[in-house]
Amino acid sequence: MKILVINTGSSSIKYQLFEMDQDQVLATGMVEKIGESGSIMTHQRRLEDGQFQKTALEGRIANHQEGFQHIVSFLGDPEHSVVKDRSEISAIGHRVVHGGEAFHAPVVIDEKVIEAIRENIPLAPLHNPANLMGIELTKEIVPDIPQVAVFDTAFHQTIPKRSYLYAIPFELYEKHRVRKYGFHGTSHAYVAERAADYLGKPLKELNLITIHLGNGASMAALQNGECVDTTMGMTPLSGLVMGTRSGDVDPALPFFLAEHLGMTLKEIDGLLNKESGLKGLCGTNDMREVIGKKEAGDEQASIALEIYAYRIKTYIGAYFAALGKLDALIFTGGIGENAPYIREVSCQGLEKLDIEIDSERNNQRGDGIREINTSGREVKVLVVPTNEELKIAQETKREIENY
């Protein structure tokens, strides 16, 4: 079975084609800068020797519809494709950021699903419109292929009211569904399952803390395999320090900025989402650059990294307390997988929680799951590479087979 996974952004489309018998990527690509003069499409297909052949198409791509048409053409073109006919594609899985309370699991897309995604646009105004556009355009261009929506928020729908309700007038939840939702659910779910396989135990018997660190960052606490808390809230702004997002701040901060600096709501939104985090603290949101600046003696970069790691550590402690018992701590995402320094500093001083990193193990590079805790510790500290696209493909396959 071949599954096409699509992630539609406001000015981009990412895609991967999987052969599900081997969980193998057959083709992958991206359309970037849609609507600009410098649009570019990159497409890679797997050759028989396992290597990928890359092709690039440059020139203005006017809109998403044109972008999708290019993708379909590449997938069906014998020179670039790994399928003889698009009928070989059994289903299309779409990443959808916000499913609200309507969706606790992936779902085959029909008109009711489309309408429910549209109703959740106020909860994710930057993401759901693009995700929805991807679904509608794909249905228009390839109407014969079934489609499945896989939601970032679905994994977190198991968290209890004590975790997801805010201490504000209850009618705001009743009438407007103002609550914590959480994001990165596909990644948290994937690495938790992979960790369970590695540990040789059923996921439902494990207590885990999963830490997804990329430009966006979040953590989740899993009790008996189900999410019971997560750091992101109604939006992806809260929780950890991120590349350009502030994470947790005093809720009164926007009032101060408005009253004393005359900032508008739009300006405050831009400040907290696009100009804060690592970028706000030391001028760059690229973790490699931040660590490089620290090593060169930059004091602001050092402070930024201290704040970044301290926030992770405090949430580890909070989630340990919430769970009562911990089997494994899992690092994933671009930073979580590739920044030994961040992993080490985030876990320093946690020996009384039975969490201790072995420096030599931590600094070793390698593919696959790696165990980086010191020997003899009951709490395993694991580096588990995430694969959100594969998880979406797996969920899509399961949903289609059970439909």
Other Cβ atoms closer than 10 A to 251: 10
Contact 186, 208 (CB under 8 A): no
Q: Which two tokens stand for residue 216?
A: 């966006």
Contact 4, 17 (CB under 8 A): yes
Q: With a threshold of 0.85, does the pTM exceed it?
A: yes
CB half-sphere exposure, 249, CA atoms < 13 A: 20
Query: 3-state class of 235 per DSSP?
Result: coil
**All CATH 3.30.420.40 domain ranges in the chain, comma separated:** 2-151, 201-388
* Whether domain 201-388 has CATH 3.40.50.300: no
- The one-letter amino acid code at 13 reads I
pLDDT of residue 289: 97
Beta strands 328-332 and 380-383, pairing class:
parallel
Contact 330, 384 (CB under 8 A): yes
Give the 3-state secondary structure percentages of the chain, helix then strand then coil, rounded to 5: 45, 20, 35
Cα(240)–Cα(245) distance, integer angstroms: 9
pLDDT of residue 123: 84
Q: Which residue has the tokens 């977190």?
A: 156
Contact 231, 184 (CB under 8 A): no
Q: Tell me how far CA of residue 342 lies from CA of 60, 105, 209, 335, 360, in angstroms.
A: 40, 32, 16, 8, 14
pLDDT of residue 48: 85
Cα(238)–Cα(84) distance, integer angstroms: 46
Annotated active-site residue in 85, 152, 248, 269:
152
pLDDT of residue 331: 98
* 149 alpha-carbon distance from chain centroid: 15
Among positive and negative, which fits the CA dihedral 131, 95, 149, 151?
Answer: negative
Helix spans in 102-214 (H) = 111-119, 128-141, 161-164, 170-176, 185-199
Strand partners, 229: 221
pLDDT of residue 75: 85
pLDDT in tens, the chain (403 residues): 999 999 999 889 999 999 999 999 999 999 999 999 899 999 999 988 889 999 998 999 999 999 999 898 888 776 766 777 777 899 999 999 999 999 999 999 999 999 999 999 888 887 899 999 999 999 998 999 999 999 999 999 999 999 999 999 999 999 999 999 999 999 999 999 999 999 999 999 999 999 999 999 999 999 999 999 999 999 999 999 999 999 999 999 999 999 999 999 999 999 999 999 999 999 999 999 999 999 999 999 999 999 999 999 999 999 999 999 999 999 999 999 999 999 999 999 999 999 999 999 999 998 899 999 999 999 999 999 999 999 999 999 999 998 8
Query: 3-state class of 146 per DSSP?
Result: coil
- The one-letter amino acid code at 366 reads G
- The one-letter amino acid code at 154 reads A
Q: Tell me how far CA of residue 293 lies from CA of 36, 276, 284, 287, 316, in angstroms.
A: 33, 18, 10, 10, 27
Cα(290)–Cα(305) distance, integer angstroms: 8
Query: 3-state class of 180 per DSSP?
Result: coil
pLDDT of residue 80: 67
* Whether domain 2-151 has CATH 3.90.78.10: no
Contact 228, 326 (CB under 8 A): no
Would you call 286 a catalytic residue per the annotation? Answer: no
The DSSP secondary-structure symbol of 374 reads: P
Q: Which two tokens stand for residue 344?
A: 């080490």
